[in-house]
Each structure stands twice: as structure tokens, then as C-alpha cells.
Structure 1
Amino acid sequence: MKTFARGLLAASCLMFASTSALAAAPTGKANPRLLGTRAIVACDAVEKSCGVASISFPAGISGLVPHGRPDVAVASMFYPSVDDAEAIIARTDAGDTAQAAVDYVFTVDPYADYRQLAAVKLNPDGTITVGQQTGAESASQRCAVKGATFVVQANNQTTATICDAMATGFQKAKGSLPQRLLTSLKAGARVGGDNNGERSGVIRVWSSENEAVFYTKVLADAVVHSSKHALEELDVEMNRYQAGVAAPYASDLIPLDKETTKVVKRVLHKLGYYRGRMDATWNDGSEQALYDFNWNNSFFLKPTVVVDGQRKIDGPLVNSMRDADLDALAPASH
């Protein structure tokens, strides 16, 4: 390692040690109204992206749980710590595996018993390492599952089986990394959730490969605070962001079947882009209307494509149109 890099790492570790020493120690029992959380952390070597999806009770978890960039992601939970997250990232930059980085932080953090940390690191050669630890004082009904490219962890849940459900959901999911993270959260919701209810959530994915990197490395960013329908709203917000900002992924293409065609045409018609027949057929007029809509509302054009004889369309785009607030979209100009 170069001397300059060693110096940065040493400085990072010193800063971590000093800020932890100054932090207030947890007092009494953890407030169960605040600290229950479940999350999945994952990286994708093909997409060159990493991200975190988490859902919980209190507002503000978008600034507490997820940390990362295109080659590493960390979820800091129970008593969250930005110092811990930054130290883990610094250790992986220095060559540690994700597990070694998490283990190191647990040895130097005086409040490690109150932490739950997960990290996934995407290396330049495409290999991925994962790491996780849960402190002894973490809330009951806690769990963790490590896979080849992901970590699921949770605490203060209605059931400890929620991690297995989220892991299975992620492994079976199709689509881009943001879509698979969302599927994992939904899979967990089918078996349980936060003991206090799930009212706030975040899905944040960073990428160095998507064409959107010209503008931003944030491939997906969805945040919901204090809503009874947090998971449903998180779904809507993520698809809106991905449809509007990110370039499309082939893995997100879905068949342009009759029902999907009607959904897309209905929105295009209401906004004045399409004036043809409102049936389940797709023709040049429909395609032009979609082109005009994308030109006025998205960073990237997202035309339909024919794959193996079947016409397909970007899934996040369709989802965003289905749940659109039409007053917030640009109408056709005639």
C-alpha cells in the first residue's frame, strides 16, 4: 500500500476512535419504539452496483442505516453509527474483506454490543465479499443471513424467520439490483415485520456502470417517512426514480402484453400524447407517443424492443406510469 493511502487509513481509524469515545453511551434499555429495523445489503458484479434496502418504524432511517458507493454498501442498525460505517468502508479500501472490516470495527467500538452491522464489498476483479455481526445487546427476534453477494439482517421483529424470507425473496427475484432489493423487502413483509409497525423506508443503490453515471452514481433512491403504507409508497417512489433517472436494464424488460399495453396507452392518452384507438394493439403511433412522453419526462429514451419475437418494455417505466400522479408529469405540447 502506498504511504499516502496508509496515512489516510490511519487518519480514518484515529477519527473513528476519537468520535466513538466522545459519543454518548447508550443508557437504560433500548427504546423499542425506535430501534427495530430490517435490511438487505447487496452488490452486483455485472451491473457494478451496490445498495441497501431497509424498512423500519421511525422517520429518518434514510440518514441512519444506508451508507455506500458503487463498490461497497453498509447497513448500520440497532444503535446506528456513521463512524462504524465509515471505518468499515476505510478498512475495505485498505484491502480487508467485508467480514474482516466488520470484525475489526466490533473490536474497537466500545458500544459494539449495541450495534448490528452488515457490509458487502465489490472488488475491482468482480469478486464480492460479505460481512455481518450483531451485538449481544441487540433487540430480541434478531437474525442475519449471509449469501454470496448479499447480507440480510434484522432486529426487534415479529419473527426471527424474516431474514430467511428476505434472503429467499432476493435469490429468487429477477431484474436489476434495485428491483431485487425491493422484492426482498416485500418477501419479508409476507411473514412479519417491525414490532412497532413499518412506517419508514429507504432503497438506495449506487452504480458505476449505468449510463446515468454521467449525471449521478445514485442508480436508485427512494425514501418514505412516517407513512402507514410505507412499503407500497417505497415501491412507487423507487420506480419513479428509476424510470426517470436511470438508463434501462435488459433484466427489467417485461412483455408488452394486452394489459400492459392498455396501462401505457391510458396514461399516454390522458396526457395528450396518444390519440389513437384505446385497444390492446401496439403500432407506430403508440411507439411515437411513448417516445414523445419519454422525451418530456425522462433522462433516457425507453422505447419498446423486440426480444426473441416478443415486444417488451421497461418494467420500472410501466410501474411508474401505472402509479403516476398525472398532474406531476409533463403533458404533450400541441
Structure 2
Amino acid sequence: MKPFHRGLLAAASLFLASTPALAGERPLTNPSVFGTRAVVACDPVEKSCGMAVISFPSGVSTLVPYGRSDLAVASMSMPSVDVAQAIIARIDAGSTPQEAIDWAQTVDPYATLRQLAAVKLHPDGTVTMGQVTGADSSSHHCAIRDTTFVVQANNMTTPDMCRAMADGFRQAKGSLPQRLYASLKAGARVGGDRNGERSGVIRVWNTTVDTAFYTHVLADAVVHASSDALRELGIQLNRYQGTLGVPYPADQVTLDADTARYVKRVLRKLGYYHGRMDGSWSDAAEQALYDFNWNNLFFLKPTEVVGGTRKIDGVLVNFLRDADLRALVRASASAE
């Protein structure tokens, strides 16, 4: 084993042994608010890893997700920074995700309370996974592993939650962030957190697309203390991906008459479009979309003709549907 890897293992072991949260000095917490459901996944084609999480207590965005473009780790039920980082160090040292989680269970005094998942994307495109649900975690828990993702949940209203979320992820279309959100929505159709769902996060990492020049976070959406957390999480995801993210072919949708009318309506409200408000798409509409893109987005997202059908970025369309128009740059007076 290389000295660097040996150092990581030693550091992780010392970290676990010396930190109060893992040395038996459990801080005073309120376990009645714990309860979370999540889908953790890597995409070998997009070269991304990430997760979508929804829960009751605020702060889930800083409690559960850890990762980067080749690895995603979820720390749930009783979250632990130290356990998550130790699992990452162990994987980096050569362990499989399951081996890393199993090792953490042997040194963690609160192992029976935790629910953990790790998904690793390897350079050859293969994906390996690990998962555990502690024996003293909420009795209302479940977990499912597939070829590229893990779904897990605790303190749920139904044990059918994981099946619904897994089916939702498999059936979803679009980029990884959009499919993660689709999985959360599919789960909501059968139940949810027994305390209610008030806080959520979707976070995806990527180092291969053009956004990596600025950030390795491909998608990021966070909601706290909201009675409509799932819907707001989708809005925030589309705002992030719509304004900062690169367009993915998988997110393209047909620019049909209804979509064309809606997009033109928004562009008109912002002063970019002054033509006919029918379901057609003209050069003037395309120019208006370009001008809006130029003033508001990191990456230009024009329409595109694919196989004789005009397409538009579906994330951008969804972003425009829920946009706070006051937060967007309007057309300049000279352009109008």
C-alpha cells in the first residue's frame, strides 16, 4: 500500500477515535426529528455523482450529502461528518464502498443508529455501492440497491417508499439532477417522512463539463423550513441548472405550440419579444431567446432542430415557468 493511502487510513482511524461524536460523548440531540429519504447515484455517461434528499429538520443540506464527481456518500438517521469523511478516506485507500461502510460500523459507537450509503464511479465506467441500515434506526426504514444507485429511507409512513423511489429513478428521463428529483417525486406519491417533509437538497458533482472551469458542483438546490419543500426543491434545482448549468441533450423537449407560446409570453414580459403570440417559432423569437440568454445565463441555450423537430432545453423552460421575473435582467431600453 502506498504511504499516502496508509496515511489516510491512519488519519481516518484517529479521527474516528478522537472525535467526541464518535468517542462515546454523544451530544444532546432530539432523535424524534430524525427521518430522511434519499437517492444516491452515479452516472457513468455523464461522469457525475450526487444525491437527492428530503427530510423534516432544516439543515439537511449540511448534514447528509458528501461527495465529488466520482463518489457520493449519504450519512443519515444520525448524521456524522466524521463517519462520512472516514468512509471517503477508506474508499480512496482502495476499499470498496461496502468494505468502507462495514469498517466504519466496527469503530463507530453509534453504528446501530446510522443509515449510510456510498456510490463510487470508477475510471472504467463501472459503479460500485455500499449500504447499511443500523438495527436501532427507525423501524420504518427500507433500502434498495441497483446497478448505479442506492435508495434508502428511515422514519417513513410506508415501507414501500424505496420501491417507489427506485422505480421513479429508473423510469425518469433527463440529466442526472433531473432524474434524482423525479425519484423524490415518485416517492411522494406513496408517502413520506412521518414528521412531514420540510427540508431538502439535491447536489450533483461533475469535473468534465464546461461548468467545471467555475465549479465542480453541477447542480445544487436547497430548501429549509418549507411546508412545500418538494415543489420548492424542484424550482431551486431548475433555477440553478437553468442559469448556471450546461444544457444536456437528455433534457431537451419538443418546442410545441403551447411551449412556444409560454416562452414567448415570458420573453415579452421581460421586454425581449414583440412579435405574434401564437404557437409558431420565428427568427424574432429565437433572437429574443438569445438576448435573454446573453443577459441572464452562464451558457447560451438556443433552440435546436433535431431530426426535423425543433427542441428547447426543458430545464430552461421549467425555470421560466417558475421564474421570479423581478430577479431577471430585462431587455435594455435601446433593445426594446
Per the normalisation by structure 1, the TM-score is 0.97
Aligned to 2:6: 6
**2:42–2:48: 8 Å Cα contact kept in structure 1?**
yes
SS class of match (1:133): strand
Aligned to 1:112: 111
- CA distances 1:131-181 after superposition (whole Å, capped 9, x unpaired): 100001101210000011000110100001000000000011111000000
**1:256–1:313: 8 Å Cα contact kept in structure 2?**
yes
Partner Cα separation in structure 2 for residue 21 and residue 176 of structure 1:
37
- CA distances 1:102-152 after superposition (whole Å, capped 9, x unpaired): 111111111100100011001111110011000011012100000110001
Aligned to 1:219: 218
**1:223–1:234: 8 Å Cα contact kept in structure 2?**
yes
Aligned to 1:15: 15
Aligned to 2:25: 24
Deviation at 1:23, TM superposition (A): 5.5
Aligned to 1:297: 296
Deviation at 1:27, TM superposition (A): 7.2
- CA distances 1:212-245 after superposition (whole Å, capped 9, x unpaired): 0010010110000011100000000000000111
Aligned to 1:167: 166
**1:293–1:332: 8 Å Cα contact kept in structure 2?**
yes
**Segment of structure 1 superposing worse, 165-174 or 17-26:** 17-26
Partner Cα separation in structure 2 for residue 174 and residue 67 of structure 1:
25
Aligned to 2:95: 96
Partner Cα separation in structure 2 for residue 231 and residue 17 of structure 1:
37
Deviation at 1:94, TM superposition (A): 1.2
- Once the two structures are superposed, the pairs formed by residues 1-334 of structure 1 within 5 Å of their partners are 1-19=1-19, 20-22=21-23, 24-25=25-26, 31-32=31-32, 34-333=33-332, 334=334
Code of the residue aligned with 1:298 in structure 2: it is: L
**1:154–1:163: 8 Å Cα contact kept in structure 2?**
yes
**2:43–2:176: 8 Å Cα contact kept in structure 1?**
yes
- CA distances 1:199-223 after superposition (whole Å, capped 9, x unpaired): 1110000011221001001011000
SS class of match (1:273): coil
Code of the residue aligned with 1:199 in structure 2: it is: R
**1:113–1:137: 8 Å Cα contact kept in structure 2?**
yes
Deviation at 1:6, TM superposition (A): 2.0
Please report the RMSD computed on the Cα atoms of aligned residues, expressed in angstroms.
1.3
Partner Cα separation in structure 2 for residue 6 and residue 124 of structure 1:
22
Deviation at 1:22, TM superposition (A): 3.7
**Structure 2, gaps ≥5 residues long:** none
Q: Which 4+ residue blocks in structure 1 deviate beyond 6 angstroms?
A: none
**1:239–1:319: 8 Å Cα contact kept in structure 2?**
yes
**Segment of structure 1 superposing worse, 13-22 or 90-99:** 13-22
Deviation at 1:4, TM superposition (A): 2.5
Code of the residue aligned with 2:137 in structure 1: it is: S
Distance 1:265 1:45, change over 3 A: same
Code of the residue aligned with 1:143 in structure 2: it is: C
- CA distances 1:302-321 after superposition (whole Å, capped 9, x unpaired): 01111111110111100000
Task: Give % identity.
Answer: 65
Distance 1:290 1:191, change over 3 A: same
Code of the residue aligned with 2:106 in structure 1: it is: T
Distance 1:27 1:321, change over 3 A: closer
Partner Cα separation in structure 2 for residue 302 and residue 184 of structure 1:
26
**Structure 1, gaps ≥5 residues long:** none
SS class of match (1:157): coil
**1:210–1:246: 8 Å Cα contact kept in structure 2?**
no
**2:23–2:109: 8 Å Cα contact kept in structure 1?**
no
